[in-house]
Amino acid sequence: MGILNVTPDSFSDGGLFDGPERALAQAARMIAEGAAIVDVGGESTRPGARPVSAEEEQARVLPVIAGLAGTEAIVSVDTFRASTAQLAVEAGAHIVNDVWGLQREPDIARVAADTGAGLVIMHTGRDRRKLPDVIEDQFAFLKKSLEIARAAGIADDHIVLDPGFGFAKETPEENLDLMARFEELHALGFPLMAGTSRKRFIGAVTGREAAGRDVGTAATSVILRLKGAQLFRVHDVAINVDALAVTDAMLARETPTPDRKLP
């Protein structure tokens, strides 16, 4: 999943693709590099970012989504707003990617159910008190999100879960603990997405600023693939495609053991 921020203020690429022409050119580059999905977002989710109205968000993303219709890519819209999700699917989006896990605007679950769109449910620790154990908090939050999804009538096979690296994970160690214990999330029974790309915890480990964290990101992609992640949301598609190709080639050569099945 290639990240396409149609925003002026995203943390590592704000302003680079904030018009339809530049955004569509970047989408074409990512597709050529191997992105199966293009995730279009119109509001920065970095801490302290300026909130935008639904109208402003829609003015940014809808022309890009419409421009991607008919390409080989699956199109995802990165939004928590039900109104934006509805218009995005009508414009050609196939997936709704909600960084608030259906808990900011629960009506977004109805949109996904009514349209048949795929759904990415992300965990976040923002605006609430978290449980002290990183995995217990994942289960508590995501189970509530899944209750909302099921009440709306969304089929389980339309859902992917994202543990939300960097979203109110207060320290680098909390993100690293989440990565180390990632396999425990398979107990939820859904495909898992890894969204580590250029996050601050990678900078804390490598000492690099956001734009220089793609090699570190690729390392996390390899680790998380070995732990069973199936979808990777990244800024630099090419480096992650290559890293994952080598990882999968190695996994294919392994002899499965009774306690470890390839994802």
In the predicted structure, residue 11 carries a pLDDT above the cut 60: no
Structural domains counted in the chain: 1
CATH number of the domain to which 165 belongs: 3.20.20.20
- Residue 208 resides in a domain: yes
pLDDT over 60 at 13, yes or no: no
- 16 inside domain: yes
Please report whether residue 258 resides in a domain. Answer: no
- 229: in domain: yes
Q: What is the pLDDT of residue 250?
A: 96
51 pLDDT band, cuts 50/70/90, is confident
- Listing DSSP states for the chain in one string gives -EEEE-SS--TTTTTTS-SHHHHHHHHHHHHHHT-SEEEEESS--STTPPP--HHHHHHHHHHHHHHHTTSSSEEEEE-S-HHHHHHHHHHT--EEEETTTTSS-THHHHHHHHHT-EEEEE---TTSPPPSSHHHHHHHHHHHHHHHHHHHT--GGGEEEE--TTSS--SHHHHHHHHHTGGGGGGG-S-BEE--TT-HHHHHHH---GGG-HHHHHHHHHHHHHTT--EE-BS-HHHHHHHHHHHHHHHHHS--BTTB---
Q: What is the mean pLDDT of residues 23-31?
A: 94
Phi, psi dihedrals of residue 20, rounded to the nearest 5°: -55, -40
Q: Residue 79 falls within a domain, yes or no?
A: yes
Average pLDDT over residues 218-247: 98
- pTM for the full predicted model: 0.92
Distances (CA, A) of 251 to 19, 227, 233: 40, 11, 21
Cα-Cα end-to-end distance for the chain: 18
Q: What is the pLDDT of residue 71?
A: 87
Classify residue 242: in a domain, yes or no. yes
> Binning pLDDT at 50, 70 and 90, where does residue 237 land?
very high
pLDDT in tens, 149-192: 999 999 999 999 999 999 989 899 999 999 999 999 999 999 99
Q: Which of 196, 253, 256 is nearest to 229 (CA)?
A: 196
Of 106, 132, 136, 137, the closest CA to residue 121 belongs to 106
Mean pLDDT is lowest, of 23-27, 68-72, 169-173, 178-182, for 68-72
Tens digit of each residue's pLDDT (9 = 90 or more) over 108-165:
999 999 999 999 999 999 999 999 999 999 999 999 999 999 999 999 999 999 999 9
Average model confidence (pLDDT) across the chain: 93
Active site residue 233: yes
Residue ranges making up the domain that contains 158: 2-246
Say which of 199, 213, 225, 227 is annotated catalytic. 199
Neighbour count for residue 160 (Cβ, 10 Å): 18
Domain presence at residue 30: yes
Mean pLDDT of 26-48: 90
| Residue 189 maps to a domain | yes
Model pLDDT, residue 19: 75
Predicted pLDDT of residue 139:
98
